[in-house]
Amino acid sequence: MSMDVRDLTGLPVIIGGGIAGLMTALYLAPEPALLLSRSPLGADASSGWAQGGLAASLGEDDEPALHLSDTLAAGDGLCDTQAARRIVYAAPAAIEDLARLGARFDRTPAGAFRLGLEAAHGRRRIVHAGGDGSGREVMRALVAAVRSTPAITVVEGIEARRLAVQDGRVTGVLANRSTGPVFFATGRVVVATGGIGGLFHDSTNPLGSCGQGLALAARAGAVLADLEFIQFHPTTLDGPDRPMPLISEAVRGEGAVIVDETGRRFLDGVRGAELAPRDIVARAVCKHVAEGHRVFLDVRERPGATFARQFPTIASACGKAGIDPASDLIPIRPAQHYHMGGIAVDLAGRTSVPGLWACGEVASTGLHGANRLASNSLTEAVVCARWVAESVAASPDCGGKRDITTYLPVPDPTPVRPLLSRGLGVTRDGEGLKEAARALLPLSQRHDAASDPAAVGLMITIAALRRRESLGAHFRMDFPHHATVARRSEITLDAAVAAARELASCPTLESVL
Ligand code: SIN
């Protein structure tokens, strides 16, 4: 597509083609907006890979207050209660919005949503589509809706690399296309770029999700929150494929159990067993593996004969790996899955930098606390997209003058992956974190393809070093005590670099952090 960027001056720019970005654009319409996507829409967004679905209190035995209480319990005391309340109360209407936009959710013969159960939910409240193809179906519907909305200009094959900031306000987006750099002059930018799985060897996310949105915001001076909280999904298919194929928690919701090579259900002593919060199950699985066991998911009895029909995507991944779930145990292990932390935002998605909003996994609203409740994230993306769009529409465009056209290389997280995979796993300790920080600091200061992923890794590492306690998904072997008062954390790139420099000059003085 040829494009005269001058025609686009002043339009709000939405960066990211997953559910958060698409919904923000759709809620903004008929106000014109520009949507930038690295890949063809629908091709490479982690939203499209979501199996579990969207959590909302739609069942007759359910209500938002129960959804809220499960969210707060899973979040281990760190959730922002007000944010969580507003989001879960808005969830049922958001599902209806998706259905109106054409998402074909699984329904009962009477036409009601067919609701699934996932870990740490006290009720069946997961809306899904095609069994385990929820993200794919929602993306199909939203991509079609966006493509038929004339107000939305979609530019594919483009990657945002820097935000221009003048006098503390956003004034534009510098992006790479195959033909070279391009600058979009705008005072309103929404970052909706997804997560950080590409920074780890073992992740369920697309490899290209390596924290680009966090880097954009951090280099523009934004405050980031709760970065140390990274969710590991306990049941991914243990094999050579990367990204790791996910085996949805919904399978355990339908009765599958976790066993070791002797057939023992080693989680039977854990409160909630296989349906305990994800951080607890992931740690128990890792501990059992460290003790020399192999770990499997057993679906033979439950869901049993209906497994392949209920979970066709997972059945197909098993088939490709030569596993027949009807007769074989499925080898599993935990892998990075979701980032609870992100760019600090209020409920209108406003960041600390005027003119910059964030939505979806890249943002930190406070909903997820220290451990996200399953299937709350797509719900959050849809609910918050509406509030972000309302806020963007109500803000005048005040920017758009500076024009920079430097080419910045495509981010490459290769040198960062081993550092985060070793230091920032299911369990951490001070020595491993300091080692990661020491290696990440020089990488983050270079001006090459690794420097943005390294800067993101460094901020996460310093946030994890600073939290000398255990809480939710952040478990410090050297500080195993549970936080007495859970407080959210904040960090900027400058603060992380300064802390890492002090650490490098005075390695024993962790208190400098
Ligand atoms: C799953 O299906 O287990 C994943 C759902 C989620 O991560 O929310």
Residue 166 has pLDDT above 70, yes or no: yes
Q: How far is the CA of 232 from the centre of ligand 1 (A)?
A: 11
Instruction: Answer yes or no: do 355 and 415 share one domain.
Output: no
243 and 355 together in one domain:
no
Q: What is the position in ligand 1's atom list of the atom closest to the CA of 55?
A: 8
Kindly state if the Cβ of 106 falls inside 6 Å of ligand 1: no
Query: What is the pLDDT, as a whole number, of residue 67?
Result: 98
Name the residue at shortest CA distance from atom 8 of ligand 1: 375
- Is 451 touching ligand 1 by the criterion CB < 6 Å? no
pLDDT for 8: 87
State residue 79's pLDDT score: 98
CB 171 less than 6 A from any atom of ligand 1: no
Summarize the confidence of residues 245-259 as an average pLDDT: 97
Do both 383 and 414 map to the same domain? no
**How far are the Cα atoms of 45, 154, 243, 422 from residue 49, in angstroms, in the given order?**
7, 21, 11, 26
Residue 332 pLDDT > 60: yes
Q: Is residue 221 part of a domain?
A: no
Determine the pLDDT at residue 315.
97
Q: Which residue of 132, 375, 377, 379 sits with most ligand 1 atoms within 8 Å of its CB, as the best mutation to test the pocket? A: 375
Pocket lining: 377 vs ligand 1, CB cutoff 6 Å: yes
Mean pLDDT of the chain, nearest integer: 95
Q: How far is the CA of 378 from the centre of ligand 1 (A)?
A: 10
* CATH assignment of the domain containing 102: 3.50.50.60
Mean pLDDT of 484-500: 97
Same domain (yes/no): 363, 326: no
pLDDT at 5 over 80: no
Q: What is the mean pLDDT of residues 486-500?
A: 97
Please work out whether the CB of residue 33 comes within 6 Å of at least one atom of ligand 1: no
Domain CATH code at residue 470: 1.20.58.100
Q: What is the CATH number of the domain that holds 310?
A: 3.90.700.10
Tell me, using a 6 A CB cutoff, whether residue 380 lines ligand 1.
no
Q: In this structure, is residue 194 part of a structural domain?
A: no
Q: State how many domains the chain has.
A: 3
Compute, in angstroms, the gap from residue 187 CA to the centroid of ligand 1.
Answer: 35
| Structural domain contains residue 101 | yes
Q: For 81-88, what is the mean pLDDT?
A: 98
Residue 78 resides in a domain: yes
Q: Same structural domain for residues 470 and 510? A: yes
d(CA 140, CA 407): 33
CA distances (Å), origin 452, targets 215, 295, 443, 449 = 6, 36, 9, 7
In single-letter form, the type of residue at position 493 comes to: L
Is 336 touching ligand 1 by the criterion CB < 6 Å? no
Condensed to tens digits (0 to 9), the pLDDT of residues 10-49 reads 999 999 999 999 999 999 999 999 999 999 998 888 888 9
Average pLDDT over residues 73-97: 98
Biggest CA-to-CA distance, the chain: 67
CA 340 to centroid of ligand 1, rounded, Å: 13
Is 369 close to ligand 1, i.e. is its CB under 6 Å away? no
Instruction: Report whether residue 250 contacts ligand 1, using a CB cutoff of 6 Å.
Output: yes
Of 286, 317, 336, the last residue of a domain is: 336
249 lines ligand 1 (CB under 6 A): yes
pLDDT of res. 402: 67
CB contact at 8 A, 258 and 274:
yes
**What does the pLDDT read at residue 78?**
98
Question: Do 218 and 264 meet the contact criterion of CB atoms below 8 Å apart?
Answer: no
pLDDT in tens, 376-409: 999 999 999 999 999 999 998 876 666 777 889 9
Report the chain's terminal Cα–Cα distance, integer Å. 49
Tell which atom from ligand 1 comes closest to the C-alpha of 377.
8
Range of the domain at 387: 4-11+23-172+181-189+340-394
The whole-angstrom separation of Cα 472 and Cα 209 is: 23
User: Do 285 and 348 share a domain, yes or no?
Assistant: no
Asked whether residue 354 falls in the same domain as residue 459, the answer is no
Alpha carbon separation from 40 to 45, 180, 362, 502 (Å, rounded) = 9, 18, 20, 43
Closest approach atom of ligand 1 to CA 247? 3
Ligand 1 closest atom vs CA 372:
8
Q: Please give the distance, rounded to the nearest whole angstrom, from the Cα atom of residue 126 to the centre of ligand 1.
A: 10
In a domain, 403, yes or no: no
Top mutation candidate among 137, 251, 337 for ligand 1, by most atoms within 8 Å of CB: 337
Are 165 and 296 contained in the same domain? no
Ligand 1 probe mutation, 51, 115, 258, 339, most atoms within 8 A of CB: 51
Mean pLDDT of 475-502: 96
Task: Give the model's pLDDT for residue 2.
Answer: 56
Residue 365 has pLDDT above 70, yes or no: yes
Please say whether the beta carbons of 123 and 88 come within 8 A. Answer: no
Residue 216 maps to a domain:
no
Q: Which ligand 1 atom sits nearest the alpha carbon of residue 378?
A: 8
Q: What is the CA radius of gyration of the chain?
A: 22
Q: What is the predicted pLDDT for the residue at 44?
A: 82
Answer yes or no: is 18 within a domain. Answer: no
Contact 75, 370 (CB under 8 A): yes
Show which of 288, 320, 336 is a domain's final residue: 336
Q: Identify the residue whose C-alpha is closest to ligand 1 atom 4.
A: 52
**Mean pLDDT to the nearest integer, 366-379:** 98
Q: Which amino acid is at 25?
A: A
**pLDDT value for 397:** 86
Our answer on whether the CB atom of 126 is closer than 6 Å to any ligand 1 atom is no
Looking at the fold, whether 331 and 345 belong to one and the same domain comes out as no
437 and 457 part of one domain:
yes
Residue that terminates a domain, selected from 321, 336, 351: 336
> Alpha-carbon distance 193 to 120, whole Å?
27
Ligand 1 atom at shortest distance from the alpha carbon of 51 = 2
CA-376 nearest atom, ligand 1: 8
What is the CA(456)–ligand 1 centre distance, in A? Answer: 24
pLDDT of 380:
98
Provide the β-strand partners of residue 168: none
**Closest by CA position to 278, among listed 379, 374, 375:** 374
Q: What residues are labeled active site?
A: 278
Minimum CA distance residue for ligand 1 atom 1: 248
Q: How confident is the model at residue 7 (pLDDT cuts 50, 70, 90)?
A: confident
Question: Does the residue 470 lie in any domain?
Answer: yes
Instruction: Indicate if ligand 1 lies below 6 Å from the C-beta of 310.
Output: no
For residue 14, what are its two tokens? 């939405």
Q: Is 210 in the pocket of ligand 1 (CB under 6 A)?
A: no
Predicted confidence at residue 513, as pLDDT, reads 62
In this structure, the answer to whether residues 252 and 312 fall within a common structural domain is yes
Q: Is 131 in the pocket of ligand 1 (CB under 6 A)?
A: no
Instruction: State mean pLDDT over 207-225.
Output: 97
**Same domain assignment for residues 42 and 185:** yes
Q: Which atom of ligand 1 is nearest to the CA of 337?
A: 7
Please check the confidence at residue 512 and state whether its pLDDT lies above 60. Answer: no
